[in-house]
Amino acid sequence: MQKSHFIANDWVAPAEGEFIPVIDPSDGSSLGEIARGTAHDVDAAVAAARSAIGETFDGPWGALAAAQRGRLLYRFSAAVSEHAEELAALEASDTGKSMKTARADVVALARYLEYYAGACDKLHGETLPYEAGYMVMTVREPHGVTAHIIPWNYPIQIFGRTVGASLAAGNACVVKPAEDASLSVLRLAEIAAAIGFPSGAINVVTGYGHEAGAALTEHRGIDHISFTGSTVTGRRVGEAAARRHCPVTLELGGKSPQIVFEDADLDAALPVIVNAIVQNAGQTCSAGSRLLVHSSVYEQVLERLARSFRALRSGPPALELDMGPLVNRKQYELVKSILAKAEADGIQVAACGELHPDAAAAGFYQEAVLLRDVPHGHSLAQEEIFGPVLAAMPFEDEAEAIRLANGTDFGLVAGVWTRDGARQLRLARKLRCGQVFVNNYGAAGGVELPFGGVKSSGYGREKGFEALLGFTVLKTIAVRHG
């Protein structure tokens, strides 16, 4: 398999003729290669997107009525569902995620496209009361051409929530998927072309972040950047955007707390707490990677969680176990080195999962790990790991729980487990993050629910109607009619 870029509804070979190997993380074997994009390829993709939009929104995509955009997005959603098994298999082989997670990602994508399809013709402005003799109104216009830099953990879902929303708002898109996981995004662009999206509405340039990604963020033909990935790269993207005053949305991960009070329904909480860290092998920006437990139930919670962790299995995606391998060697070595440091620092392992006997030795498998009594200031409690590692620590009272929960550089999501209604609301208001879940974690994904962070978790919102607003520019028109 050798894949070129997908630009203007066609496969386009990389200008410099180079390709990047694609590795199957379940056994280290080759899946083929993808184009190594450079600034030339980015130029071609941006030019295609600009002509789809047109100088004054008069291009084939820019001039399309909102209702027609909506119909196309509905058709896209249906086509995704028709290709569900193929897309899930592609995603599972490329990223290593279990087939059951990959299938769920495809269902979420279809739903994102459906949600944004229905929103296209409901995105309206207002009329404003003003001085006599004026008629003042606001209109929401697309930015023009939006760039989408997508990471490797959820390519299909992140395509849905950023590209879906941007298209619905009327923008043309240039997408740069991660070098480790580009196959599903390329296939999605091909499917969109086949069902009637005009040339240039969706373009995909693959390649390395420092080459294709950097060229895209610096390109003057880009009117808005949506970035999901690490804090370090997010800062670089933000700086590149600031140099030319380009609006940007950054979704940069977290160190999200799951807080268990003494009155929590543990039967309900514990399976959710486990899933919140092992889902996608912990490679989830909103993973519940810190566990804060009231000291009176700490030992009981740890004992029960240890039993659950020992039963977790990592293995090939097709076996549909709790976890597949990590995405690549770099991530695998990073997680191993973090665990080695934990051991050297004397941090206790409360329990580990197991590798399935069919997990190839050359695959990037990491069993689930439950760590206990992790000091709040330790890097394990402060830094994102992006692996199936849960750091548990006790707290004495509500004030300490809040202080610990808010005590990192991140602020993406938080989970709170308590039956006390007033405490639920106090916590919900005092936690510094973008989403708070009370007696659940993640609310089953909810495409309708605005998502994003504060502090180093980033800014701007994805998902829901809020994301649509971010992909528009508000224009005020004042007419003096006397």
Q: Which of 25, 70, 229, 282 binds ligand NAD (CB under 6 A)?
A: 229
| Cβ-based neighbours of 35, under 8 Å, separated by 6 or more | 3, 4, 5, 13, 14, 18, 19, 20, 41, 205, 206, 207
Site string for ligand NAD, 339-378 (x = CB under 6 A): ----------------------------------------
Task: State the minimum distance, in angstroms, from the CB of residue 21 to ligand NAD.
Answer: 15
Among 25, 96, 151, 415, binds ligand NAD (CB under 6 A): 151
- By CB under 6 A, the count of residues binding ligand NAD is 28
Of 120 and 389, which has the nearer Cβ to ligand NAD?
Answer: 389
Interface with ligand NAD includes 325 (CB under 6 A)? no
Point out which span in 246-254, 287-295, 374-382, 400-408 binds ligand NAD (CB under 6 A). 246-254
Q: Do residues 6 and 187 touch, judged by C-beta distance below 8 A?
A: no
Minimum distance from residue 406 beta carbon to ligand NAD (Å): 19
Nearer to ligand NAD, 149 or 359 (CB): 149
Residue position matching structure tokens 């990491």: 366
Report the nearest approach of ligand NAD to the CB of residue 455 (Å): 14
CB 261 within 8 A of CB 423: yes
Q: Is 233 in the site for ligand NAD (CB under 6 A)?
A: yes
Q: How far is CA 133 from CA 138, 139, 482, in A?
A: 17, 20, 4
Q: Which is nearer to ligand NAD, 36 or 372 (CB)?
A: 36
- Whether the Cβ atoms of residue 205 and residue 212 lie closer than 8 Å to each other: yes
447 closest CA partner among 84, 158, 70, 112: 112
Q: Give the pair of three-digit tokens for residue 212.
A: 């294709």
Parallel/antiparallel/unpaired status of strands 458-459 and 354-355: unpaired
- Residues annotated as catalytic are 251, 285
Burial class of 131 by CB neighbour count within 10 A (0 to 12, 13 to 18, 19+): exposed
Nearest alpha-carbon partner for 252 in 214, 285, 287: 285
Q: Which residue is nearest to ligand NAD (CB)?
A: 209
- State the nearest-atom distance from the C-beta of 169 to ligand NAD, in Å: 22
Q: Does 217 bind ligand NAD (CB under 6 A)?
A: yes
Is-contact 252 456, C-beta < 8 A? yes
- Nearest distance, CB of residue 185 and ligand NAD, angstroms: 10
Tell which one of 91, 94, 179, 322 touches ligand NAD (CB under 6 A).
179
Alpha helices (runs of H) in 198-297, residue ranges in sequence order? 214-218, 231-243, 266-278
Q: Shortest gap between Cβ of 287 and ligand NAD (angstroms)?
A: 9
- 384: contact with ligand NAD by CB under 6 A: yes
Alpha helices in 127-230 (DSSP H): 155-158, 164-169, 183-194, 214-218
Q: Is 277 in the site for ligand NAD (CB under 6 A)?
A: no
Beta pairing class for 354-355 and 413-417: unpaired
Which stretch, 56-64, 231-239, 313-321, 358-366, contacts ligand NAD (CB under 6 A)?
A: 231-239
Binding-site member from 92, 189, 214, 264 for ligand NAD (CB under 6 A): 214
Contact stretch for ligand NAD (CB under 6 A) within 35-43, 74-82, 113-121, 228-236? 228-236
Exposed, middle or buried: residue 239 (CB in 10 Å: 0-12, 13-18, 19+)? exposed
Q: Which of 22, 188, 285, 370 binds ligand NAD (CB under 6 A)?
A: 285
CB nearer ligand NAD, residue 77 or residue 153: 153
Q: Name the minimum Å distance from CB 133 to ligand NAD.
A: 49
- Please give the torsion angle defined by the CA atoms of residues 421, 424, 428 and 431, in that order, rounded to the nearest 10 degrees: 150
Using CB under 6 A, list all residues that contact ligand NAD: 149-153, 176, 178-179, 208-210, 213-214, 217, 228-230, 233, 236-237, 251-253, 285, 331, 334, 384, 386
